[in-house]
Amino acid sequence: MSLDFGTRDAAARSEEAARLVKTAGADVAEVVTGKRARPDAATFAGSGKVEQIRDALRLHNAQTVVFDQALSAAQVRNLERVLAEGWKPVRVYDRTELILEIFAQRARSHEGKLQVELAQLQHHATRLVRGWTHLERQRGALGKTGGPGEKQIELDRRLIGERVKKLKERIRKVTRTRETQRAGRNRSGLLRVSLVGYTNAGKSTLFNRLAKSDAYVADKLFATLDTTTRRVWLANGTTAAISDTVGFIQDLPHSLVAAFRATLEEAVQADVLLHMVDRADPMHMQRIDSVNKVLAEIGAQDVPQILIYNQIDRVPGLEPEIVRDSHGKILNIKASAATGAGVDLIRGALLEAAEALPRGALATAA
């Protein structure tokens, strides 16, 4: 289900939502779209759209509905009740839960799994009321504090709070190890480069080209969750440390940004960001804005960045080139990580950035 509130292109949003569902391992039976001035307080979509969704569930014998927006716990509860009426139990996911589910499936490293579990628990803690609607919530007689439903909710909150505390401590330990490794690269005088960009923009493909690595690459959203760093020889004895980071997406859940802050610190500490952009995407300018919003959220908005307009092989008339401003500063590079066209220009740009480092640091690296 996708609703347009005039903030994004409806067709592009629906297409991205369908890709997210497929990435999570489900098939898309039908896409229902709509347009409203504001969400309905009870069910987000209006009564007519909810009825349309209910009909679609029965037509396709489906029991899962995904809303491409954030829903409140009450809205999810109301939707599941209304959609299941006279039918089977229905599970309603909102955009946040769907992305969390994908991250849970994709996390491979110990750190990544800890971060995803933390984000899931923090999200779940806001929705505990949904799981206990069958229990009494009235205050007890004679000044008792409440019914069994409230007691169970408080117990769950305490258990989740304890688990969150343990997870944060374990993540802090992993973070200290990462900071030690990062400090070693800083002392070496290496140019620190982070690949950032919208999910599926080609970051890992470029990383493999530059580092002669074999990082996982797939035509899927969030193919990479775990940060990988490699040393890359540029030229003239100069070396850079390049990190491939998790892809961003529009409306990325704040809980995920917070949980992955330690991983995304690579971008904050970088000397330069290679901001990968799928130039063949009609929404590429909006994707750039989305990435910059996340960079600002983690404190990396002031790190110098070079836009890499990737996948030019899919855009007729575009050739590899470096575009500079009137002062000679590199604004963007047109390239194709898939074919290798323009990758030499990216290496040259990184060499320029390395040579601009303090001479003492560069001498150490050499």
Rounded Cα–Cα distance for residues 345 and 206 (Å): 12
* Nearest to 243, CA basis, from 220, 221, 213, 223: 213
Q: Taking a C-beta distance cutoff of 8 angstroms, is the pair 111, 174 a contact?
A: yes
Instruction: Give the Cα separation of 89 and 62 in Å (integer).
Output: 10
Per residue of the chain (366 residues), give pLDDT as tens: 555 544 457 788 888 889 899 988 899 999 998 888 899 999 999 999 999 999 999 999 999 999 999 899 899 999 999 999 988 999 999 998 998 888 888 777 787 788 888 888 888 887 765 444 444 444 444 444 455 555 677 778 888 889 989 998 988 887 777 667 656 555 556 899 999 999 889 998 999 999 887 665 555 566 555 678 889 988 878 889 999 888 888 877 777 777 667 667 778 889 999 999 999 999 999 999 999 998 998 889 999 999 999 999 999 999 999 999 999 999 999 999 999 999 999 999 999 999 887 654 444 443
pLDDT of residue 202: 93
pLDDT at 161: 87
Residue in the structure block whose two tokens are 């640091």: 361
For the packed helices 343-355 and 203-211, what is the interaxial angle rounded to 10 degrees?
70
How far is it, in rounded angstroms, from Cα 121 to Cα 105? Answer: 15
What is the pairing mode between strands 191-197 and 305-310?
Answer: unpaired
Give pLDDT, residue 254: 73
Reduced DSSP (H G I as helix, E B as strand, rest coil) percent helix, strand, coil of the chain, to 5: 50, 15, 35
Q: Determine contact, residues 300/330, Cβ cutoff 8 Å.
A: no
Per-residue confidence (pLDDT) for residue 5, from 0 to 100: 46
Query: Phi and psi (nearest 5°) for 244?
Result: -95, 125
CA distances to 12, 137, 139, 265 from 146, in Å: 47, 7, 4, 44
Can you give the pLDDT at residue 63? 93
pLDDT at residue 364 in the model: 40
Q: Give the pair of three-digit tokens for residue 95.
A: 């955009």
**How far does the chain reach from its first CA to its final CA, in angstroms?**
55
Q: What's the token pair of residue 57?
A: 């569930």
- Give the Cα separation of 175 and 189 in Å (integer): 21
Place of tokens 């939707």: 79
Cα 160 from Cα 156, distance rounded (Å):
6
d(CA 3, CA 126): 23
Burial 171-203 (b: 16+ CB within 10 A, else e): beebbeebeeebeebeeebbbbbbbbbbbbbbb
Q: How many CB atoms lie within 10 A of CB 255?
A: 20
**Pairwise CA distance, residues 303 & 293, whole Å:** 13
Looking at residue 223, its pLDDT comes to: 59
Q: How many CB atoms lie within 10 A of CB 238?
A: 20
pLDDT at 135: 42
Domains (ranges, CATH) in the chain? 2-93 (3.40.50), 106-167 (no CATH), 188-365 (3.40.50.300)
Q: Give the pLDDT score at 151.
A: 67
